[in-house]
Amino acid sequence: MDQQQIDFGFVLPHWFYWGWLATMPIAMILWSLALEKRKASKAEAAKPAEATDPDGRPSVESNIVIRAFDWLSEYSGQFVAFWTVNAVFFYAFEVIARYIFNKPTIWVHESSFLLFGMQYLLAGAYAYLYGSHVAVDIIYNKFPKRGQYGLDIFTSVFSFVFFLTLIGTSYRFMMDSIAMRERTLETWQIQYYPVKAMMFIGGITITLATISRLYKDIKRFNQLGRSAS
């Protein structure tokens, strides 16, 4: 008996996958900004609370460069967050195609796997901006506030060593992948060099977020020093 040939049905084109991931989050961000603006215009003016940064620390005066770094961290995180919506629809399509029409896909699992990998690589700066990275603070919490900022300034040196190494290494990975026009080994065989490019871009964005955090910690450290004197 001849083995029944599996019909994979619709296969998502590579160009559409990359084009959609590049443009869909921008449209969603603009839409959410419009909704926020409309909501703010209807809200009543409230008494302003004490100004704090996204990570909950006291806000400090910053310059245009630091604000640009924070803006990049904020919207790079929002950008990749909207990618998650795609995975929900991708897997819903896979379930319907496989179990209702008996046409399993060859692209849904790989597309979502790559999507989550890139999301992880690019979300570091956003997490750093909001202080969401895991930290062992058993000893850290025993320091006074100024001591905590001083410790953050000291440990940021080690962060820069790691992130700069990440940038240099991922740049070589990216360029080698582009040179060989690397593709995945699965049946879909989508381009792999954009994924390695995300590693390089993620290294840059989290480094800029670290510079912003260091700048603010130095300002807070100095302000507490002046207030104590």
For residue 176, what are the domain limits? 62-224
The number of domains in the chain is: 1
Structure tokens given for 1: 């008996």
CB atoms within 10 A of CB 56: 8
Report yes or no on 51 lying in a domain.
no
Report yes or no on 184 lying in a domain.
yes
Instruction: Give 83-94 pLDDT, tens digit per residue.
Output: 999 999 999 999
Report yes or no on 180 lying in a domain.
yes
Report yes or no on 5 lying in a domain.
no
Report yes or no on 162 lying in a domain.
yes
Interaxial angle between packed helices 14-42 and 64-81, expressed in degrees from 0 to 180 and rounded to the nearest 10 = 120
Report yes or no on 132 lying in a domain.
yes
Give 199 or 54, the one with higher predicted confidence.
199
What b/e sequence results for 132-143 when a residue is b if at least 16 CB atoms lie within 10 Å of its CB, and e otherwise? Answer: eeeeeeeeeeee
Report yes or no on 38 lying in a domain.
no
Instruction: Give 171-228 pLDDT, tens digit per residue.
Output: 999 999 999 999 998 889 999 999 999 999 999 999 999 999 999 999 999 988 877 6
pLDDT in the model for residue 167: 96
Report yes or no on 200 lying in a domain.
yes
Q: Are 78 and 26 in contact (CB under 8 A)?
A: no
